[in-house]
Chain A
Amino acid sequence: MNAILSAFEQAKHQNTAALVGYLAAGDPDPATSRDIIFSMLSQGLDILELGIPFSDPTADGPAIQAAYQRALSGGARLSSVLELVKDIRKHFKTPIVLFSYLNPILQYGAEKFCMDAAKSGANGLLVVDMPMEESAELLPFIKKSGLTHIPLVAPTTPSERAKKICENATGFTYLVSMTGITGSAGLDVAKASALTQKIRKVSPVPVALGFGISTEADVKTLAPVTDGIVIGSAFVRAIAEGMEKVNKNGGDKKKVAATLGEMTKKFKAACRR
């Protein structure tokens, strides 16, 4: 069993949904990003989803766009993200999923990227702008490298198509909880919950629900119906707010890392069924 499936299995035994935490790698700067990640992993995050910064993230809302900009300004590159993964791997066993747009991967070289990512210690890959029709140029290398493939299913995806998409999933199926971009407001928890139950029936691997889930109350309601919950924009916004305070009033960036750790703990508690 691969590390990602094991993480879901372990969460299931503890009667909790797995908490997947998303961050933009290198946000707001390399050192603080490392501190934040270490703090969250120490607080029991089940899976780390690390975003590879991209200049034109069309599937993401303003919070994650801004995070990518901060990371890029801080010098983040694909190679530095892989270095970060290596560094994390020296200290933590938590599974790491890389979240990317396709273009940076293609410029790095599709095969080289998959092999290097696996070698660094990453466990899965999710390419947000690569629907199944375009997956042939990457899928063979994902398989060869030993990474798991994490496809997206959306509320707009018809049932037959969802089934086909899930057939290729080897890590988990990332279920988009609402029709929109990351960090959107107005999540309909009842709808998301019904959708999850439908997709869990056709997915051979666990289903993690993400996009627009930002409160402990939402997490509590959804935890019983899903295998995993992805929190992204809420964490990323907390980093932006924390850094704004540090920049305005001075103070220690370590406090931001501590805040993110606390948030992780609370969301983790809310995941309990």
Chain B
Amino acid sequence: MKTLLSDFHILPDADGHFGPFGGRYVGETLMPALIALEEAFDREWKNPDFLHEFKSILADYAGRPTALYRADRLSALVGGAGIWLKREDLAHTGAHKINNTVGQVLLAHCMGKKRVIAETGAGQHGVATATVAARFGMECAVFMGCEDIRRQAPNVERMRLLGAEIISVKSGTGTLKDAMNEALRHWTACVEDTFYVIGSVAGPHPYPLMVREFQKIIGEEARKQLLDKTGGLPDLLVAAVGGGSNAMGLFYPFIDTGVELIGVEAAGEGLETGLHAACLSRGSVGVLHGSKSYVLQTNDGQIREAHSVSAGLDYPGIGPEHALFKECGRVSYVGATDREALAAFKLLTLTEGIMPALESSHALVTAIQEARKRPENQNIIVCLSGRGDKDMANATGYRDFDKIDPFTIFGLSS
């Protein structure tokens, strides 16, 4: 892999390739729509009126900029580097997903589309899409696996109240992968009047590029906020990766700096058990949902089921640009298990009064482990990608939840 760091800002190439990854692996029926979408995005992302409206909606409607908060009690308890939380949980709808859905639904509106569809796992992207669709008076349908509908009941009700139609997907494992399959099938049938709002830096070109551009505001804000507060750049950034949009949003504005970057994948029951969602650590290169990247698959090229306590990370693929970052060694990718994530979920709630989403809890695990190894004058920014209310029933229902002791798991003295 010969991609130089200085090349990152010109990627992807004209056909949506990030080095050997990315591209557009879809049926011919969808190709003209992807080309039209690419043209519309290229045009509007340079259009001052579009940019002004995007930024205004993010400020006045979505509540940006979100705070950068130094978790003093957690940092003191852990010892070592200071842990800062980029509070995407404070954005409207409770997660970073809103940044992207504002961008895409605004683009759909500019393209004259009257209807949007989306896939969702944890329900956060579905809620964020339904919310912005309501804001623009557009029709909205959300595809959600039947297993996720069970795990994330409160978000399902929210989407219904927002006027969205929920389409339960029973094929396969009834999770995010299957919801995305079904959304792609549906889009193929109504591609002429419907805009597909993909929720991560995954899928065919131009989605990985477009979602990165809409999400990079996370890192841009964090960079400026930490500079204002400490006068310097952070030493380390940590974010959870499922499809990888919050991590891409935080990392991208730091790609050409020397700041260390760690992406945390869901290690589920443990990387050695096979029950995980760690595509970059344990997967191999393949094609899924329109792009080439790392995927969980059998030797025969059949896609394997992912496993994670967090519905938002329970996905056997990863955005293609993350695959490139891994190949080049620009970002390190590690895993956090279900139990570790639940421990971090408990610990942050207890010490800071902030209940993190289970997705974000994975990033906290690594932040805690890294902080301990580092001197006090270092600063770590963690992307707190979402709030954890939606996960309460799922977390407390986890086997032996009461016995999960963060102090033991992280080796802290209480």
Residues of chain A having any CB pair with chain B under 8 Å:
54-62, 65, 72, 77-78, 101-108, 128-131, 133-134, 151-158, 161, 165, 176, 179-181, 184
A61 to B186, CA, bound (A): 10
B31 interface residue (CB < 8 Å to A): yes
Which residues of B1-54 are within 8 A (CB) of A? Answer: 15, 23-33
Partner of A131, one of B24, B192, B286: B24
B189 interface residue (CB < 8 Å to A): yes
B56 interface residue (CB < 8 Å to A): no
Q: Contact check, A107 vs B27: say whether CB atoms are below 8 A apart.
A: no
Most buried by A among B26, B27, B33, B299: B27
Among B177-185, B249-257, B268-276, which stretch is in contact with chain A?
Answer: B177-185
A152 to B25, CA, bound (A): 13
Among B207-215, B224-232, B259-267, B300-308, which stretch is in contact with chain A?
Answer: B300-308
A48 to B299, CA, bound (A): 27
A220 to B299, CA, bound (A): 44
Most buried by B among A57, A107, A165: A107
Additional 14 contacts, C-beta under 8 A, given A107-B286, A154-B32: A54-B301, A54-B302, A56-B289, A103-B287, A103-B301, A104-B300, A105-B301, A107-B297, A129-B27, A129-B287, A131-B28, A134-B24, A165-B28, A179-B191
10 tightest Cβ-Cβ pairs between the two chains A and B: A107-B301, A104-B301, A180-B189, A154-B29, A59-B27, A152-B28, A55-B302, A58-B184, A154-B28, A103-B301
**Which residue of A is nearest B182, CB measured?**
A58
Partner of A157, one of B26, B28, B300: B28
Partner of B302, one of A104, A151, A156, A180: A104
Q: Contact check, A156 vs B33: say whether CB atoms are below 8 A apart.
A: yes
Q: Contact check, A130 vs B32: say whether CB atoms are below 8 A apart.
A: no
A62 to B182, CA, bound (A): 10
Q: Contact check, A153 vs B28: say whether CB atoms are below 8 A apart.
A: yes
B154 interface residue (CB < 8 Å to A): no
The interface bits of chain B over 281-323 (1 if a CB of A lies within 8 angstroms of the residue's CB, else 0) are 0001111111000010101111100000000000000000000
Number of chain B residues whose Cβ lies closer than 8 Å to a Cβ of chain A: 37
Q: Is the interface of A mostly helix, strand, loop or mixed?
A: loop
B332 interface residue (CB < 8 Å to A): no
Q: Contact check, B191 vs A58: say whether CB atoms are below 8 A apart.
A: no
The residues of B that contact A154 with a CB separation of less than 8 Å are 27-29, 31-32
The residues of A that contact B288 with a CB separation of less than 8 Å are 56, 103
The residues of A that contact B33 with a CB separation of less than 8 Å are 156
The residues of B that contact A179 with a CB separation of less than 8 Å are 29, 188-192
B369 interface residue (CB < 8 Å to A): no
The residues of B that contact A153 with a CB separation of less than 8 Å are 28
Partner of A102, one of B25, B185, B191, B297: B25
Q: Contact check, A157 vs B31: say whether CB atoms are below 8 A apart.
A: yes
Most buried by B among A59, A65, A103: A103
A176 to B32, CA, bound (A): 14
The residues of B that contact A176 with a CB separation of less than 8 Å are 27-29
B349 interface residue (CB < 8 Å to A): no
The residues of A that contact B192 with a CB separation of less than 8 Å are 156, 179
A65 to B172, CA, bound (A): 10
**Which residue of A is nearest B183, CB measured?**
A58
Q: Contact check, A181 vs B181: say whether CB atoms are below 8 A apart.
A: no
A41 to B66, CA, bound (A): 65
Partner of B31, one of A57, A62, A77, A131: A131
A151 to B31, CA, bound (A): 13
The interface bits of chain B over 357-384 (1 if a CB of A lies within 8 angstroms of the residue's CB, else 0) are 0000000000000000000000000000
